[in-house]
Amino acid sequence: MSTIQISIVPLPVGAEVAGLSEGAESNPEVRAQLYQAWLKHGVLLFKNVGTTERHLALSRCFGDLEIHPFAPARSEEHPLLIEIGGKKRTPAYVYDGVDLRTNRIPWHRDTAYTPDVCKGAMLRMVEVPSSGGETMVADTAAAYDDLPTDIKVKVDGLEYKATLRLTPIHQTRPGAFWKTVRRATPQEDPEGGRETDLSIQARYPSVVHPAVLVHPESGRKCIFLSPTYVDHFLGISQGESDDLLKYLVDHMLSPRYVHLHRWSVNEAIVWDNRRVMHASPGNNPREPRRGLRTTLAGPVRTGRFFDKDPPAAVSMMAD
Ligand SMILES: O=C(O)CCC(=O)C(=O)O
Ligand SMILES: [Fe+2]
């Protein structure tokens, strides 16, 4: 029996870890408890993660860490961290005619535009805006369980083609929670002049993934979609595919599977990327928001390249 008592307090999706003193995560029994809680709940929330060292130590309770393949996102602070917002914030866009936002990101799983979807990620928030900038998570295992039988039969064994879409202008698939979007003018976003380097998209050739993943550890079936990147399901028409995608995304985003987390400074959440998808409504660019994120190495080699001979540029992905 461990002498360290921690409590796992369920949230609408995921759970909060309470009573974990600094350094307690080095205890093997505590690590095992945390890991089991993570598998059970899909997302864990930690408070008072005040340093990069602790962020890395907690992340390592859930697996080995990897350097994110997307070089421009990497943090100067540590090679195992990427920076979300802060100096690397995205240019601002205006959504639905009124909503000026940076860092808005539609529903996705991390690295799902590669054949090896990462196992998970831990995001720690170091600067929190006064409003907006939340992170949303959706439990796709619970969503799968509740699918009608005929839809389960339809999606089990189905595969889909997925392609990286980098900017809100390109993110038009279901799971993008806006109807219209345009780039903010320099008057609206004076600091956001940087153009997104779209050549990066060409370095990530399209991939194929299964629509349903049997979770390699829990054995639970998950709706394994990253809606933002889905082009179409294989073997059915584009129209049928679009209808099915919309149906599945609407289902996964029912309020009972979704939780919106309002951040406090130095909180961290770790999601199981095999089971959970996530999104952010973004924040007003006039207020800072900065997060740092680790990536848990897979490999969850669920995918393959769509073309048998992808361009040689693939080998440059980590540059
Ligand atoms: O900004 C957020 O809340 C989520 C960003 C994100 O998608 C990630 O950290 O992987
Ligand atoms: Fe993400």
Atom of ligand 1 nearest to the CA of 108: 7
Q: Which ligand is nearest to the CA of 109?
A: 2
Q: Whose CA is nearest to atom 3 of ligand 1?
A: 135
Ligand 1 neighbours (beta carbon < 6 A) = 84, 103, 105, 110, 121, 123, 135, 278, 280, 291, 293
pLDDT of residue 304: 93
Distance 279 CA to ligand 2 centre (A): 7
* Mutate which of 260, 278, 287 for ligand 1 pocket (most atoms within 8 A of beta carbon): 278
* Mutate which of 66, 90, 135 for ligand 1 pocket (most atoms within 8 A of beta carbon): 135
Distance 5 CA to ligand 2 centre (A): 31
Q: Whose CA is nearest to atom 6 of ligand 1?
A: 279
Atom of ligand 1 nearest to the CA of 291: 1
Rg, the chain, Cα only: 19
Long-range contacts of 171-174 (CB under 8 A, 24+ apart): 171/106, 171/228, 173/106, 173/227, 173/228, 173/229, 173/230, 173/245, 174/227, 174/245, 174/246, 174/249, 174/250
Q: How far, in Å, are 163, 166, 186, 189, 215 from residue 170 at the CA level?
A: 11, 7, 21, 20, 30
pLDDT of residue 315: 39
* Mutate which of 107, 293, 295 for ligand 1 pocket (most atoms within 8 A of beta carbon): 293
Q: Whose CA is nearest to atom 1 of ligand 1?
A: 280
Q: How far, in Å, are 91, 167, 172, 280, 281 from residue 181 at the CA level?
A: 13, 10, 10, 16, 13
Structure tokens at 246: 């919309």
Per-residue pLDDT of the chain (319 residues; tens, 9 = 90+): 446 779 999 999 999 999 999 999 999 999 999 999 999 999 999 999 999 999 999 999 999 999 988 888 899 989 999 999 998 888 999 999 999 999 999 999 999 999 999 999 999 999 999 999 999 999 999 999 999 999 999 999 999 999 999 899 999 999 999 999 999 999 999 888 777 778 888 889 999 999 999 999 999 999 999 999 999 999 999 999 999 999 999 999 999 999 999 999 999 999 999 999 999 999 999 999 999 999 999 877 789 999 876 665 443 343 3
Q: Which ligand is nearest to the CA of 122?
A: 1
Atom of ligand 1 nearest to the CA of 289: 1
Distance 273 CA to ligand 2 centre (A): 9
Question: Torsion angle of alpha carbons 29, 30, 34, 35, nearest 10°?
Answer: -30
Atom of ligand 1 nearest to the CA of 105: 7
Q: Note the pTM of the prediction, 2 decimals.
A: 0.94
Atom of ligand 1 nearest to the CA of 280: 3
